Amino acid sequence: MGVPIYQPSAEVKNRILNSKSYREFRSIIAELDKEYDWDSKVQEIIELDERPDMNYIEDLPGSELEKDGVKYNIHGIVHDEKGIKVSRKVKEYIRERCTEYHKPQEAEHYLCEEYIGKTFMFGNRMDDHRRFLFNWMGLGFYNIYNQYKRRLRNAFLVRDAELSRSVKDELQHERIKQERHIVQIVGKNLLRAMEDPVYLPKARALAQSLVRAPPIEFDIDFDGWKYSKLLEYNAIKRSKYMVDCMEKFAKQKNLKYLHTIVGLGHEPHIKVFLENPKYPAKLLLTNIHPE
């Protein structure tokens, strides 16, 4: 089943960019959410989970693009989270790949997000966490897991809002069943990826699917606008800063190839900012990527 491309009109994008308050911002997100075909997104996630060919890995999955004579490979991976540690097997695999990426004679090297560098004991790490001190938020495994859980719950609630009570009662059981299924899929694959590297491609695919749909509501646990600004500052702004670090590192080392190892959520943002440094962070906050 094909999933509709999530690409709002120019008018909607302008409304997002010009929004002056959280209430206005949230109302636009609610409109996007209501119009989106969440049933197809649910099916896409289920189909991803059922693909056995994705439980295989030769190299770290990622995005590749060329800029100013340098080929950048951005590898989104899982890393330690509060209370959950990646296994020795995953650590050894990542270390082996990065060792292979270090080829001075071919002007090839690697660079890591700071927290990943600490997790895997790499020397070539950025200073993004020291610059953006909100790592207590836990914006990795739990963020992705809870985004799916919350988005799917909210999507079905919005869809059901105008239905009669009898129809709501009929749909309630199915909605809960689907929500639980999706939560199980996402949780299972992310946890597996922290135990065995063969599950990294599927975990990445699920994360990529997440950023191609309307965004989460931001007023869970924090007062809304403050939380959205915190997410933007800690995740999207960090991604933009990492692009600056990557380009400086490539220039200093006179590289032709640079592999950057980052958390799953940063990969799509880094790709956008590499291609378009001035792309509005506010659009990325609403999961609207360049066409």
Which residue's entry shows tokens 């919350």? 150
Could you tell me the two tokens for 87?
Answer: 């296994």
Phi and psi at 137, nearest 5°, equal -70, -25
The verdict on residue 3 lying in a domain is no
Q: Is 5 contained in some domain?
A: no
Q: Does the residue 103 lie in any domain?
A: yes
Are residues 97 and 260 in contact, defined by beta-carbon separation less than 8 angstroms?
Answer: no
List b or e across 143-165, with b for residues whose CB sees 16 or more CB atoms inside 10 angstroms. Answer: bbbbbbbebbbbbbebbeeeeee
Domain-embedded: residue 51 = yes
Given a contact cutoff of 8 angstroms between Cβ atoms, the answer to whether 217 and 33 are in contact is no
Indicate if the pLDDT at residue 265 is higher than 50.
yes
What is the per-residue pLDDT across 38-88, written as a single tens digit (0 to 9) for each? Answer: 778 888 888 988 888 887 788 899 999 999 999 999 999 988 776 678 899
Query: Residue 57 domain-assigned?
Result: yes
**Which backbone phi and psi does 217 adopt, to 5 degrees?**
-75, 145
Could you tell me the CA-to-CA distances from 72 to 110, 194, 251 in Å, in that order? 10, 25, 12
Question: How many domains does the chain contain in total?
Answer: 1
Residue 20 DSSP SS3: coil
**pLDDT value at position 37?**
77
164 inside domain: yes
In this prediction, residues 204-226 reach a mean pLDDT of 60
Of 19, 47, 40, 43, the closest CA to residue 31 belongs to 19
222: Cβ–Cβ under 8 A, 6 or more apart, which residues? 230
Mean pLDDT, residues 203-214: 80
The range of the structural domain enclosing residue 123 comes to 10-285
Q: Which two tokens stand for residue 159?
A: 């869809």
Q: What is the DSSP string of 125-145?
A: B--HHHHS--GGG-TTHHHHH
**Local confidence band at 242 (pLDDT 50, 70, 90 cut-offs):** very high
